[in-house]
Amino acid sequence: MKTIYDFTVKDREGNDVSLSAYQGKVLLIVNTATGCGFTPHYDPLEAMYKDLRDKGFEILDFPSNQFNNQAPGTDEEIHDFCTIHFGTDFPQFAKIDVNGETASPLFAFLATEKPFEGFGKGLKSVALNKFAGMNNKKFGDKAYIKWNFTKFLVDREGKVVARFEPTVDMKDVRSAVEEMLG
């Protein structure tokens, strides 16, 4: 059975990183953007990372510019923005595509393991459905990720156990992570 440990990704400097380096840890894998309405998610993500990393928790940040060009900078510019404005300290990888023919195999796998089930209810969800629908038409059946700040929770064995759309309250994401950590 395939796990996330079977994947290799690029770090910000373009070096290969095997995700097997994170074996035995609880992971939250996130596609991010610096110019998105959900960019403030960096604050609770960083707080969670600071509080829980000593318990075997890691956040893996993958910037993507596929949603209304909301991450247009270079890897270094994106990293500088995140560290200056949000004090992020968790690993940030090279900018990737999460949808279409050029989608990262990691994100295609994550989304296949935990497919999109909707944005939930409420005004944010209604608005996001409209924007995501227009954006993702160009990717067809390879529209794996519907918007920035989609989060995947991975257990200590490398299995994808949950998917959180950006509309999910970050307190609920944290609760799921804490439960997974035991």
Nearest CA-CA partner of 146 in 173, 160, 127 = 127
| Architecture in CATH for domain 4-181 | 3-Layer(aba) Sandwich (3.40)
Q: pLDDT > 90: what percent of the chain? A: 81
Q: In the predicted model, what is the mean pLDDT of the chain?
A: 94
> Could you list the active site residues?
36
Span 35-40, average pLDDT:
91
Summarised one tens digit per residue, pLDDT across range 52-81 is: 999 999 999 999 999 988 998 999 999 999
Span 129-154, average pLDDT:
89
Query: How far does CA 138 lie from the centroid of its chain?
Result: 21
Reduce the DSSP state of residue 181 to 3 states and report it: helix
Q: Cβ(150)–Cβ(30) under 8 Å?
A: yes
pLDDT at 124 over 90: no
Partners of 114 in beta bridges: none
pLDDT band at 126; cut points 50, 70, 90: confident
Domain positions in the chain are 4-181
Backbone phi, then psi, for 146, in 5-degree steps? Answer: -90, -25
